[in-house]
Amino acid sequence: MEEKKRKKRKRRLTPEEAERRRAARAARELRQADRENQQITGEVRQSVRGSQGEVPDEQREAEERRIKNKERSVRRARKEKHQQILIRALGLVAVLMVLTVIIFFVVNDHVHDRQEQEAYKAQKEAEIAAEEAALAARRASIAEAEKLAVIYDYDGAIALLQSQENYDTDNDLINAIAQYTAEKSALEAKDVTTVPHIFYHSLIVDPARAFDSSKWAADEIAGINAWMTTVEEFDKITQQMYDNGWVLIRMRDLVVETKNEDGTVTFSQNKNLLLPADKHPFVLSIDDWSYYHSYDGKGYGDKAVVDENGKVKIQYTDADGNVSVGDYDVLPRLNTFLEAHPDGAYKGARGMAAMTGYNGVFGYRTDVAYKTGERLGKDQAAWLEAHPDFDWDKEVAEATKVAEAAKASGWEFACHTWGHLSVTGKSVDTLSTDQQKWQNTVANITGKTDTIIFAHGNDIGTWRDYDASTNDVYAYFKSMGYNFYANVDASNQYWVQIRKDYVRQGRIDCDGLQMWRAKAGEAKTNVFEEFFDVNDVFDSRRPTPVSATGKA
Ligand SMILES: [Zn+2]
């Protein structure tokens, strides 16, 4: 049993331990041999000393030889032992060195493996991140292309997708490009000579205040009733026109404008106004976006402001004096509608605002008269007196912010003359004085424009072509850079004149008078028939009948 146990223990020894044991045993044996050696040498010497003089020479010599031989063999044995020990020690050192080298390589290999794994992992992660980024970019481009296609910019959508990497191998991109190419091929070029142009004045937010006969004179109410539109009417018209397939375009979408070498421009019909078969283009403008003093207290907005999102909104003060900011007029209301229905406008088109300057713009008192205090009208003087903190520069700065935000949302500005002039029969002299005022007090805020929308629905000529050689007023406006002209003509659904030098459109007033005439059958034709249901739209809060006798 004891033996077995020992064997067992022995068996458990590691090679290094076993080697160490062997080395220790060898050392023990060597020490033992040394001791034996010394003992023998001592005995020999003693016996030699003890025998001197007593033994014969031959015997003594033989004894000495024997001793010498024994010493030699002892030395040899010692030397052999030393050599054995040395060999074993060297062996042990060699084994230890080999082990060290092996351990070094194993550890080194392990560390190297880990570094390699980490590098691989990092590389894989980078590859995944790059793939995800590419996928996100592809998704973003597809979403962006969809937005372009919705507003009928199929060329833009296809070009955007084709600008993506792998556009010809990635299935999503291939499918989207194929879809837009097919949709584009189904579009038809619209006849730009039959495009209607509708317009509004500022919307009546509170008809009870606008038509309050206890406050306003009969002709004032008659004017509001004839030329204005209520918020509710506007909303119904906008929705119904959208439902009936009407798509807002810019007046300049009617034509292709070519810049000539001498700086002049020439126009030709746009043969490439592409829309689906069931969609019809129309142009929209708003007149007198000024919140004149005469609007005060009649349930209109106070002024335009730019909200925290950079959007144009309208400040409105209700009958109880509560002030709020919202979509209280055509511009922000149409913008909000078209943000929700982007396919209601061609390539992001918005309307045009025809501006006068005599009471300022957008409800800001920016005319120079408010600054100088000269030639003030009665209402202007009263307004200045009621606003002692008035700061003209600040007013212009605020109005400029509104103009910039309106343009950023797609709107354009047009001249409506500074003084809301009736251009008919006016001399070039009178018109140029007015025009200079407009350039100085309106264009400085809105920027320059190539469009003039005549006030009072007037025009500077008949339906015949403008001719600069015989029409000096046209020649004057043309020299001032005006290429787009508009009057009012509600007798037809459209009236378009595209000539080399200019573009002219008749506009339909979407107001109480035209709706009443259509509704009451007073008009020869219901010009709104294809746009909306006038019986549904006409605001029942209006006094009736509506007549053109009031003042605008
Ligand atoms: Zn006007």
Angle of the 154-162 helix axis to the 57-150 helix axis, nearest 10 = 170
pTM value is 0.79
The reported pLDDT for the residue numbered 506 is: 98
The reported pLDDT for the residue numbered 358 is: 97
What's the gap in Å between 56 CA and the centre of ligand 1?
Answer: 164
The reported pLDDT for the residue numbered 205 is: 98
The reported pLDDT for the residue numbered 191 is: 98
For the cut 90, the answer to whether the pLDDT of residue 39 exceeds it is: no
For the cut 90, the answer to whether the pLDDT of residue 19 exceeds it is: no
The reported pLDDT for the residue numbered 49 is: 54
What's the gap in Å between 362 CA and the centre of ligand 1?
Answer: 14
Residue of 476, 519, 336, 316 lying closest to 410 (CA atoms)? 336
What's the gap in Å between 288 CA and the centre of ligand 1?
Answer: 5
- Rounded distance, CA 410 to CA 404, Å? 10
Q: What are phi and psi of 454, to 5 degrees?
A: -70, 140
Mean pLDDT of 157-174: 93
- Rounded distance, CA 475 to CA 468, Å? 5
For the cut 80, the answer to whether the pLDDT of residue 3 exceeds it is: no
Separation in Å, CA 5 to CA 10, 11, 19, 22, 67: 8, 10, 20, 20, 46
What's the gap in Å between 421 CA and the centre of ligand 1?
Answer: 9
Residue of 438, 482, 485 lying closest to 460 (CA atoms)? 485
What's the gap in Å between 189 CA and the centre of ligand 1?
Answer: 33
Mean pLDDT over each residue of the chain, to the nearest integer:
92
- Per domain, the residue ranges of the chain are 15-146, 190-537
3-class DSSP state of 449: coil
- Rounded distance, CA 384 to CA 388, Å? 6
Cα dihedral value 465, 283, 184, 167, nearest 10: 120
- Rounded distance, CA 228 to CA 234, Å? 10
What's the gap in Å between 419 CA and the centre of ligand 1?
Answer: 10
Which pair of structure tokens corresponds to residue 358? 């005599």
For the cut 80, the answer to whether the pLDDT of residue 295 exceeds it is: yes
The reported pLDDT for the residue numbered 20 is: 82
What's the gap in Å between 253 CA and the centre of ligand 1?
Answer: 24
Mean pLDDT of 293-301: 97
What's the gap in Å between 59 CA and the centre of ligand 1?
Answer: 160
Q: Give the up-direction half-sphere exposure of residue 367: CA atoms within 13 A in the CB hemisphere.
A: 27
What's the gap in Å between 417 CA and the centre of ligand 1?
Answer: 9
Q: What are phi and psi of 216, to 5 degrees?
A: -115, 150
Which pair of structure tokens corresponds to residue 77? 């044995």
**Residue 8 or 303, more confident:** 303
Separation in Å, CA 17 to CA 22, 24, 192, 393, 398: 9, 10, 103, 99, 94
What's the gap in Å between 407 CA and the centre of ligand 1?
Answer: 20
180's CB contacts (< 8 A; 6+ apart) are 145, 149, 154, 157, 158, 161
What's the gap in Å between 455 CA and the centre of ligand 1?
Answer: 5
For the cut 70, the answer to whether the pLDDT of residue 116 exceeds it is: yes
Over residues 421-448, the pLDDT tens digits come to 999 999 999 999 999 999 999 999 999 9
> For the domain bounded by 190-537, which CATH number is listed?
3.20.20.370
Residue of 323, 350, 363, 337 lying closest to 409 (CA atoms)? 350
CA 45 distance to own-chain centroid: 113
- Name residue 60's amino acid: R
What's the gap in Å between 420 CA and the centre of ligand 1?
Answer: 6
**Residue 551 or 228, more confident:** 228
Which pair of structure tokens corresponds to residue 466? 């403008």
The reported pLDDT for the residue numbered 41 is: 58
What's the gap in Å between 69 CA and the centre of ligand 1?
Answer: 145
Over residues 43-86, the pLDDT tens digits come to 555 655 555 555 567 888 888 888 888 888 888 888 888 888 88
Residue of 443, 414, 447 lying closest to 284 (CA atoms)? 414
By the 8 A CB rule, do 184 and 271 touch?
no
For the cut 90, the answer to whether the pLDDT of residue 291 exceeds it is: yes
Over residues 481-525, the pLDDT tens digits come to 999 999 999 999 999 999 999 999 999 999 999 999 999 999 889
By the 8 A CB rule, do 334 and 350 touch?
yes
The reported pLDDT for the residue numbered 23 is: 78
Identify whether 281 is preceded by a cis peptide bond (ω within 30 of 0). no
Over residues 199-253, the pLDDT tens digits come to 999 999 999 999 999 999 999 999 999 999 999 999 999 999 999 999 999 999 9
By the 8 A CB rule, do 279 and 245 touch?
yes
Mean pLDDT of 365-380: 96
- Which band of pLDDT confidence, cut at 50, 70 and 90, is reported for residue 35? confident
